[in-house]
Structure 1
Amino acid sequence: MNQAKSYEYIDRICVNCPGSLWGAKSICRIHNKSIGNITSCEQWDRQLILLNLMMREMTRK
């Protein structure tokens, strides 16, 4: 995944994730590394699936 896409997910998903610790350094407790160094995450995948399902449902109506 490209870095721009990672930052998009960080802005939308990581900010609300209970595994994220925000402070002087932003750390992900799930991956045990800086949030800026994460290139893929199960939470990102879940959110993409939910978004796709919502979009599909909206186009049916």
Structure 2
Amino acid sequence: MSSRPDATPTVYAWRGGAQALDRLTDAFYAHVRRDEVLAPVDAAAVPVRSWGQTRH
């Protein structure tokens, strides 16, 4: 888990790592897509998972 001497888990590890954060993000955006105010803003945004990919 950690190479630190005190072996205190990080917030990332305590929260459950990548899989847990992916589930949290998916649940959050599912709610955003149903919200009448936030849905149009989200629809115009570039998806996070495409960040860093080259656009042509």
Same fold (TM over 0.5): no
TM-score, normalised to structure 1, is 0.33
Between structure 1 and structure 2, the one with the greater Rg is 2
More strand by share: 1
Q: Which has the higher contact order (CA 8 A, sep 6+)?
A: 1
TM-score, normalised to structure 2, is 0.35
